Amino acid sequence: MTKTAETVWNSCLNFIKDNIKPQAYKTWFEPIVPVILKGDGLTIQVPSKFFYEWLEEHYIKLLRVSLVKELGNDAKLIYDVKMENTYSSNNAHTVKFPSSNRNPINSQGVTVPLGIDKRELRNPFVIPGIQKIKIESQLNPNYNFDNFIEGDSNRLARSAGMAVANKPGGTSFNPLLVYGGVGLGKTHLAHAIGVEIKDKYPDKTVLYISSEKFTQQYIESVKNNTRNDFIHFYQMIDVLIVDDVQFLSGKTGTQDVFFHIFNHLHQNGKQVVLTSDKAPVDMQDIEQRLLSRFKWGLSAELQAPDFETRILILERKLYRDGVDMPKDVIEYIAKHIKSNVRELEGVLVSLIAQASFNKKEFSLSLTRQIVDKFVKNTKREVSIELIQKVVSKYFDMDVATLQSKTRKRHIVQARQLAMFFSKRMTKASLASIGAQIGKRDHATVLHACKTVDNLSETDKQFRKYVEELTQKLTFQ
Ligand code: ADP
Ligand code: MG
């Protein structure tokens, strides 16, 4: 049988497949297209320069061994890089450069040094006449690594963030997904990464954006018929930081556009940083293909800080504000406020304010009062407003959606649950509940309560909603 590019490449793939993880195979080898076989040289087409560099860096040995098996000791591999022009996608062209193993493949498997001339590779990207557009980073310089206190609870996420900042797009933490509960420092860390990159690489385009704002922009762009501009804008960015991606849940249009932007950035070796209040496995209503992208890099959790870290965070803040506070007061706060750094700071601010307004000392009794108030506040009586917030958050929608007129099933259900809990947990009348939840009348609320009662008896999933929401509303 005569060998063709396809047959040779397929044999190589069989060998490669057996030697790497399925995910890696899928990501890095499935997209490759064999192009031509000329003597001992096989040309393969790869989707981007980044792709090519990745193969050379991570899989060159494997490629070499498999090729030698097929084509003998003089085997050569030539890459055909399909360059997608960033500025106009119908202008794709091809640039060829040989693999670093263009020298005859060494059968001992010794790695041939990567003799790639980077300048040569960059050339195709220099597009005459087009300059990089200056993009405001939207970063908050007060959120930096210096004042992000390290502790066991955040060590992994913090170091991964540092690594990414040192080498944006150049680590396997791409995307870096930082997840964790409210007030644990996701936004702070996300900014810190951006700030550090801007500091180290002033020429890189960094953009911080919340996923809500991203969604709004996208919707606007569809309205104004500028969807392509929107996409192109995001594809030009070197480091894209998207905060709170859980808000993309259920928004299929936005997810779709984000998927394409993500792929483009990733394939071109650009860095993506994401934050979320949940681990990818727990995200609901996010498309599978997007979730699988989220899992490509590293997911690092921010946990609630331990006692020592809480003390350090407090001390750091006091130092910065130039305030002296007795040790026992600091410890009292750290001991009682455990699960939210924002609250920790809140107590401190109140305490400082109280003490200075009333010319009081930082006494333990004053501290106790304030901490008590904070702790009580978090256990305050539930209001209809709060119920709507908790229910919409639970279903990953915003309150406006919950209140809207839509008849989509999952939104109707969320609305009915909000009505049900309002009836059960507040003293408000049916009419007043209806008025506050999207201006419905009392009959609608009554109907909702009955529906929830019925469904929780007959539908297991629904019962789980009721139970979990009860938990959340009782212990929030
Ligand atoms: P999230 O986005 O997770 O809800 P934030 O990033 O907004 O939380 O953090 C809440 C507050 O706590 C911010 O003021 C932030 O500066 C502070 N904070 C969180 N973690 C740390 C930390 N490790 N060191 C110092 N400050 C922190
Ligand atoms: Mg945040």
The predicted-structure confidence for 178-189, as pLDDT tens digits, reads as follows: 999 999 999 999
pLDDT mean over 24-38: 88
State which amino acid sits at residue 264.
Answer: H
Local structure of residue 100 (DSSP, 8 states):
G
pTM of the model: 0.58
Phi-psi label, residue 180: left if phi above 0, alpha if psi -120 to 50, beta otherwise: left
Could you tell me how far CA 462 lies from the centroid of its own chain? 29
CATH top-level class of 145-302: alpha beta
Sign, CA torsion 138/141/145/150 = negative
Per-residue model confidence as pLDDT tens digits over 137-151: 999 999 999 999 999
Question: Interior CA angle at 140 toward 134 and 146, to 5°?
Answer: 120
| Fold held by 307-377 | Helicase, Ruva Protein; domain 3 (1.10.8)
- Ligand having the closest approach to the CA of 182: 1
Confidence tier at 74 by pLDDT (50, 70, 90): confident
- So what's the pLDDT on residue 127? 35
Are the beta carbons of 233 and 267 closer than 8 angstroms? no
* Residues lying with their CB under 5 A of ligand 2, a single-atom ion: 186-187
Q: Which CATH number fits domain 5-98: 3.40.50.300, 3.40.50.360, 3.40.30.10, 3.30.300.180?
A: 3.30.300.180
Which atom of ligand 1 approaches the CA of 277 most closely?
A: 3
Look-up: residue for tokens 């590779």? 121
Ligand 1 closest atom vs CA 188: 6
Which one of the ligands is nearest to 340 CA?
A: 1
Q: Cα(56)–Cα(81) distance, rounded to whole angstroms?
A: 13
Query: Could you tell me the distance, in angstroms and rounded to a whole number, from the CA of residue 342 to the centre of ligand 1?
Result: 6
Judged by its nearest atom, the ligand closest to the C-alpha of residue 185 is: 1
Atom of ligand 1 lying closest to residue 158 CA? 23
Q: Write out pLDDT tens, residues 57-69.
A: 788 888 988 998 9
Question: What is the 3 state secondary structure string of 47-91?
Answer: CCHHHHHHHHHHCHHHHHHHHHHHHCCCCEEEEEEEECCCCCHHH
* Pairing assessment for the beta strands 239-243 and 176-180 based on DSSP bridges: unpaired
Output the six-digit token pair for 403.
């209140």
Residue 191 identity: H
- How many angstroms separate the alpha carbon of residue 183 from the centre of ligand 1? 6
Q: Mutation test of ligand 1: which of 342, 348, 349 has the most ligand atoms closer than 8 Å to its C-beta?
A: 342
Q: Is residue 112 very low, low, confident or very high in pLDDT (cuts 50, 70, 90)?
A: very low
Higher pLDDT, 21 or 240: 240
Measure 303 CA to ligand 2 centroid, in angstroms.
14
pLDDT (tens digit per residue) in 382-409 = 789 999 999 999 999 999 999 999 999 9
Measured CA to CA, the distance from residue 377 to residue 380 in angstroms comes to: 5
Which residues contact residue 320 at a Cβ distance below 8 angstroms, ignoring those fewer than 6 apart?
147
Average pLDDT of every residue of the chain: 84
Which of these, 189, 150, 213, 148, lies nearest to 273 by C-alpha position?
A: 189
Q: Coil, helix or strand for 95?
A: strand
Q: Residue ranges of the domains in the chain?
A: 5-98, 145-302, 307-377, 384-474
Pocket of ligand 1 from Cβ distances under 6 Å? 147-149, 154, 180, 182-188, 313, 341-342, 345
Distance 138 CA to ligand 2 centre (A): 14
Q: Are strands 239-243 and 271-276 parallel, antiparallel or unpaired?
A: parallel
Q: What are phi and psi of 337, to 5 degrees?
A: -110, 110
**Is 56 in contact with 111 (CB distance < 8 Å)?**
no
CATH value of 384-474 in 1.10.1750.10, 3.40.190.10, 3.30.200.20, 3.30.450.20: 1.10.1750.10
